[in-house]
Structure 1
Amino acid sequence: MTIEGSFEAKPGQFYMLRGIGSFMTLSRPISVFDVEADKIAFMYRVVGEGTKYFSKLKEGDEITLYGPYGNGYPVSDYKDKKVALIGGGMGIAPLFYLAKQLDNAEIHLGLNSRDLTAEQKQYLGQLYATHAPTTIHIDTDMSEKLDFSKYDAVMTCGPEIMMYKLTKKHENVYVSLEKYMGCAVGACLSCTCDVAGKRVKVCKDGPVFKGSEVSYDDAIKLL
């Protein structure tokens, strides 16, 4: 979804979106896919009533959005260093804009064969490759396939179990957590989690954290 206007964002930040005059009581948090001089873009998958509403918007319709929120990835620390950008499922969304800001990145997209057609997978591969060498991994555990020793850092977004495994492969892993959010300013406490031994708010303190500091209790239970 592309929205016309003048916007700003750091890679990894998100906006809260809501349809004008719609049924939505709460806005939906969606990662920034791309930002250009006169527009901002969001990539999403239809999974509920909110994203279903977005999918029915037409050119010329209006939408309400607030942001940007969150801290984003540490781009300035790794601008010219070798970085692996690893996304799983809809976690691939923030990596496109992130790749634009890095000089020496490699993109790895983990996709499920049931979710996309062959044409869609080809399109995504070509799209992301406009900013960095891109490899698509289908139904694959990327933590077991990549040579992490050649990277200075790993920046990732996707299922927690995937990000947990990646933190075991490299000392500089930065993860973007996905949590239910109601306000995006730390007031509703619906997105709290344990990081570095204390309770934090993903919307305000994150969503990007040093991977080694995050508690992955729910993900570990799935192993």
Structure 2
Amino acid sequence: MRKIKMRLLQIREIAKDTIEMKLEDDYITKVANPGQFISIALPNHTLPRPISIADIDRENGEITLLFKIMGKGTDTLAGFIPGTEVDCFGPNGNGFPLDSGQVDKVLLIGGGIGVPPLYYLGKRLEEQGIEVKSILGFQSGKYVFYEKKFESLGETIIVTDDGSYGMKGFVTDAVNIIPGFDAYYACGPTGMLRALTEQMKNKTGYISLEERMGCTVGACAACVIPTATEGSYKKICHDGPVFAAEEVML
């Protein structure tokens, strides 16, 4: 992890309350793995904001972040203007494994703002010749983003809670539509991940947790989670946010 300054190249709203930022960087773009995140320091805010990496363009030295406006901190971040120097720390945490054995077909499953880190993961897996299919869940049609980007990787199913776009229901309802995958990679709310890991307990899986973090570097122990080993805990920001599905208790 390193403290660096990035220059904000572009910022725009791509769906309701969902902001995409593109930043110029010559370090994180070279070393970050899918599933890792960066911490952004905000003026007049004590704690940094952890934002997962949605995409990396190594050739042009650009990193893409997506976040949802959910409070004062993210509202402040959404107000940054192009040209601003952004104070960042990263890359942080442990990402998704890219060498998980004999895997030919994978299923990506994202819920809401848990979708972004799966896009960069999908790109990297596709580069390895792995077949990628995706299920993306949102509250409603006005929150849907990156549909075409995921479709460029492979078959993609959009699910909305209210049925205003795509299939009505939850991501767990769509899993059986795409059979024959060797492993799954998921990111989203804890309730979604809990249901998925139970539904697919006989499958190899990796999950990225979205729990609220404090320091984002493993110092404050605000984001601990129990593991499958009784009495053992791990820090999401330091040991995760990605874990093997059977490793932690949700």
Match of 1:111 in 2: 138
Match of 2:160 in 1: 138
Match of 1:221 in 2: none
**Aligned AA for 2:152?**
T
Q: 2:96 aligns with which of 73, 86, 91?
A: 73
**Aligned AA for 1:55?**
A
Partner Cα distance (1:159, 1:185) in 2: 21
Match of 2:57 in 1: 36
Map of 1:45-124 to 2, 5 A cutoff? 45-77=68-100, 81-102=104-125, 103-113=130-140, 116-117=141-142, 121=144, 124=146
Partner Cα distance (1:46, 1:172) in 2: 33
Partner Cα distance (1:60, 1:132) in 2: 35
SS at 2:217's partner residue?
Answer: coil
Q: Deviations over 1:149-196 (max 9, x none)?
A: 511111001011111111123221211111222222211111111012
- Residues 54 and 65 of structure 2 are in contact (CA less than 8 Å); yes or no, is this contact kept in structure 1? yes
- Residues 135 and 174 of structure 2 are in contact (CA less than 8 Å); yes or no, is this contact kept in structure 1? no
**Aligned AA for 1:154?**
Y
Q: Which contiguous aligned blocks of 4+ residues in structure 1 show a shift greater than 3 angstroms?
A: none
- Residues 99 and 132 of structure 1 are in contact (CA less than 8 Å); yes or no, is this contact kept in structure 2? no
The two structures have a TM-score, normalised by structure 2, of 0.78
Partner Cα distance (2:67, 2:23) in 1: 14
**Aligned AA for 1:127?**
K
Partner Cα distance (2:174, 2:34) in 1: 26
Q: 1:10 aligns with which of 5, 29, 33?
A: 33
Match of 1:185 in 2: 217
**Aligned AA for 1:205?**
D
Check if 1:24 corresponds to 2:48: no
Taking a change above 3 Å as real, the CA distance of residues 56 and 78 of structure 1, as seen in their structure-2 partners, is: farther
Out of 130-139 and 140-149, give the one that drifted further.
Answer: 140-149
Q: Deviations over 1:128-148 (max 9, x none)?
A: 222332221111222133226
Q: Deviations over 1:3-50 (max 9, x none)?
A: 11212311100110123xx11111101110111121111000100111
Fraction of identical pairs, as percent: 36
Partner Cα distance (2:102, 2:110) in 1: 19
Check if 1:154 corresponds to 2:188: no
Match of 1:219 in 2: none
